[in-house]
Amino acid sequence: MSGAQPEKSRARKGKAACALLLATSIFALLRPTLLHAQETGLRGEVSESAILSDQQRKARQLALASQGQQAPASAAQDNTPARTYLPASAGALPDDTDADAATAARSIFDPPAVTDDSSADTPTPPKPRRRPAAARQDAADRDKDKAAGKSKKKKPATATTETTAAIADNADVPDTDEETANRRAVTIDSVDRQKLDPGAERTASIEGQKKKAEDDPFAATGVKWGSFVIRPTIEQGLTATSNGDSSSTGKSALLSETALRFSAASDWRENSALINGYGLFRETVSGYPVHNEQGRIEGQLNVDLDNELRAIAKLGYEAVPESASSPDAIAGVSTQPLRQSLDGSLALEKQAGKMQYTVTGAVAHDFYGDAKLSDGTSLSQKDRDSTLYTATLRTGYEISPALTPFTEIEAGRRTYDQRIDNEGFERSSTRLGARAGLELDMGEKLSGEFSAGWLREAVDDERLDAISGATVNADLKWSPERGTTIGVTGRTTVEPTTSAGESGDILYSGRLTGERLIRANLTANAALGLDWRDYVGIDGHDTILSAEAGLTWWLNRYAGLTTRARTEKLTSNLPGRDYTANSIFVGVKVQR
C-alpha cells in the first residue's frame, strides 16, 4: 500500500501538468494574433533568419508558460503587438468618422489593446488609425513635394549615391505619419527601379551630339604657330606655252612651274595682324629658255585706339623681273633687270557719328638691278631708282551701314635717286589727285568699293609733258548665291619712264573673276582681263586682252589636282610690241 501511494501521487501530478499544458495551449489558440507579415512589419519578402528568430522566441515563451514562470521584460517587449500596416492611398480605409461606432463594431478577432497585456513593464500606446481625410491630405502634400522637387535643378546623382542616401535616411530618420510604416520594404533594387527626375538626367556626350556642317569641308585647316594660324599652299606642275616670255620674239616651251603661297592670321582677343606672301618659280624643261623668279610678302597690323580711333599699318616687299612686254624692256638682253619694291603706309581712322575720316601716309621705293646683255656685259639701271611719297585725306558719310559715299584728296612727290638721268632729263615730279566713290557693306552678298577721279603728275623738266588722266579704281565682291563669287577689280597706275623724250604712261587694268563651287571637292574658276595703256608724249597705246579658266579637284582636305588654260593677246600701234601667248597648266596642289 505504501508503494501504491507514491505512484498515485505521481499520476495525479502528471495529470495536473497535462491539464495545465492543455489549458495553456487552448488559451494561446483562442487569443487572436496578427498575421506574421503584419506582426513583423513586412509587406515584402521575409528573410529565413527573421522567421527562425521569431519561432525561437515563441518557443521560449511557451516553455516558460508551461513551467509557470513569468516572461522577462525583454520577452514582454518582444511580444508587443507590431504596428499595424496602414495603406497610404486615400480611400483605402473605411470612412469611420465616429470613434464610438468604430469601437462598437470592433470584431472579437481584433488584436487586444496593449494595456490588456499585464506582462509588459512599459506599455506602448497603440498607433491611432488615420482618418481618411488626413490620408487624402497627406497624399496631396506628397504630390506637392514631388512637384517642388522637379522644379529645382539638382545635380544628377548616380544610382549608388541615391541608394546610399535612401538607406541612410531610413536608418536615421524616425518613423512619422508621413512615411511608410514598413522601412524594411525599401531595398536596393526598389531604389534602382525608381524613375529618375528628368531634370536630373545626365547630358549626352559631346561625341554623340550633332556637329554643325562646315561651309567648306575642303578648306585649309592651318597650322598653329604661337598666336598665329598659318595656311601654306604649294602648287607644282608643268606648263606648255606657245610663248615662253610673252614677247614679240617668244617661242614655245615646256616649263616647270612651282608656286608657294601662305597666309598667317593672328587670333588675338583685341587688334589683328595678317601676313600674306607668294613665290613663283618658272624654269624651262624644253624649248625656249626661260628663267623667272618672283615673289612678294606683305603684312598688315590693325590697332584700336581710344576715342573711336583706329590705326592701320602696312609693310611689303616685292621682287619681280622686268617683263619682256614692259614699255621699259631692253631689247637684246639675256636677262631683264630685277625690279625690287619696298612699300609701307600708316593710316589713322576716326569715326564721329556718321562721319568717317581717314588720313594715310605712304612711301614706296623702287630700285632696279643691272640688265645682262647678250654679249655678257651689263647695263646699269640706277637712273630708274625712285621713291614716291603720298598723303591722302578721305572723308565719308554713312548713309546706312551698307552705303558710305566718300571723297579723297591725294598729294605726293616722286623723287629720283639720280636727279638727272642718263639722257639728261630731270625726272622728279609732283603728284595731285582727287576722286569720289561709294563703299558698300552688305555682308557676304556684296562688299567693296569703287571710285572715279582725276590724277596729274607734273614732271620737273619743262621739256616733258605732265602725266594726267581720269582714274578708275574698284574692288567689289558679289555672291549671287551660296558657292558662287563674282569679283570686279580696277586699278589706275602711273608708269614713269626714262626713255628719251617720254614722260611715261597711264595703265588702266580691269579684271572680272568668277569662282563656283560645283561640288564640295570640285571648284571652277574663270577670269577675263582688259588692260589699256596710254602713252604720254607720243601717240601710242597698247591693248591687252586675256582669258583664263581652271578646275581644282580635291582628293582630300590636303591635296588635289588642278589645271588651267590661259590665253593673252597684246595689240599695239607701236612697232615690235604685238604678241600672242597660249598656255595650259597641269599640276598638283597641296595645302595645310
Segment 285-296, tens digit of pLDDT: 999 998 889 999
* Contact (CB, 8 A) for 342 and 350: no
Same-domain status, 236 and 132: no
21 or 571, higher pLDDT: 571
Same-domain status, 333 and 231: yes
pLDDT at 146 over 70: no
Q: Is residue 348 part of a domain?
A: yes
Same-domain status, 110 and 184: no
Q: What is the pLDDT of residue 325?
A: 84
The percentage of residues in the chain with a pLDDT greater than 90, rounded to a whole number, is 49
363 residue type, one letter: V
Q: What is the mean pLDDT of residues 46-66?
A: 73
Closest to 215 (Cα-Cα) out of 482, 447, 442, 443? 482
Q: What is the pLDDT of residue 145?
A: 57
User: For 156-259, where are the alpha helices, taking DSSP H only?
Assistant: 159-172, 188-192
Q: What is the mean pLDDT of residues 6-13?
A: 63
Q: What is the mean pLDDT of residues 35-49?
A: 50
Domain boundary among 149, 173, 207: 149
* Contact (CB, 8 A) for 467 and 454: no
pLDDT at 256 over 90: yes
* Tens-digit pLDDT profile for residues 415-435: 999 999 888 899 999 999 999
Q: What is the pLDDT of residue 422?
A: 87
* Tens-digit pLDDT profile for residues 519-558: 989 999 999 999 999 999 888 999 999 999 999 999 999 9
pLDDT at 456 over 90: yes
* Tens-digit pLDDT profile for residues 200-218: 555 556 555 566 666 778 8
pLDDT at 152 over 50: no
What DSSP element (H or E) covers 44?
Answer: none
Question: What whole-number distance in Å separates Cα of residue 142 and Cα of residue 152?
Answer: 16
Q: What is the pLDDT of residue 583?
A: 96
Question: What whole-number distance in Å separates Cα of residue 146 and Cα of residue 139?
Answer: 11
Same-domain status, 370 and 491: yes
Q: Is residue 76 part of a domain?
A: yes
First-last CA distance in the chain? 129
pLDDT tier at 160, thresholds 50, 70, 90? very low
Q: Is residue 317 part of a domain?
A: yes
pLDDT tier at 477, thresholds 50, 70, 90? very high
CATH number of 315's domain: 2.40.170
Same-domain status, 347 and 450: yes
* Contact (CB, 8 A) for 40 and 46: yes
Q: Is residue 166 part of a domain?
A: yes
For 435, phi and psi rounded to 5 degrees? Answer: -155, 160
Q: What is the pLDDT of residue 5?
A: 57
Same-domain status, 252 and 305: yes
Q: What is the pLDDT of residue 21?
A: 66
Per the structure, the count of domains in the chain is: 3
Q: Is residue 11 part of a domain?
A: no
* Tens-digit pLDDT profile for residues 266-281: 999 889 999 999 999 9
**Least confident among 38-52, 88-102, 182-196, 197-211:** 88-102
Same-domain status, 480 and 545: yes
Q: Is residue 203 part of a domain?
A: no
Question: What integer best gives the mean pLDDT of the chain?
Answer: 78
* Contact (CB, 8 A) for 521 and 554: yes
Q: What is the pLDDT of residue 154?
A: 42
* Tens-digit pLDDT profile for residues 548-591: 999 999 999 999 999 999 999 999 999 888 999 999 999 999 99
pLDDT at 171 over 70: no
Q: What is the pLDDT of residue 221?
A: 87
Q: What is the pLDDT of residue 395?
A: 97
Q: Is residue 451 part of a domain?
A: yes
Q: What is the mean pLDDT of residues 228-241?
A: 96
Q: Is residue 16 part of a domain?
A: no
Q: What is the mean pLDDT of residues 79-84?
A: 48
Same-domain status, 127 and 192: no
The percentage of residues in the chain with a pLDDT greater than 70, rounded to a whole number, is 67
Range of the domain at 168: 153-197
pLDDT at 454 over 80: yes
441 residue type, one letter: D
Same-domain status, 272 and 353: yes
Closest to 295 (Cα-Cα) out of 255, 260, 256, 257? 260
Same-domain status, 466 and 505: yes
pLDDT tier at 229, thresholds 50, 70, 90? very high
Q: What is the mean pLDDT of residues 481-491?
A: 94
592 or 17, higher pLDDT: 592
Cell 594660324 sits at which residue?
229
Same-domain status, 93 and 171: no
Q: What is the pLDDT of residue 107?
A: 44
308: left (phi over 0), alpha (psi -120 to 50) or beta: left
* Tens-digit pLDDT profile for residues 87-108: 554 544 444 444 444 444 444 4
3-state secondary structure 55-88: HHHHHHHHHHHHCCCCCCHHHHHHCCCCCCCCCC
Same-domain status, 141 and 250: no
How many C-alpha atoms does 173 have within 13 Å on its Cβ side?
14
Q: What is the pLDDT of residue 14?
A: 66
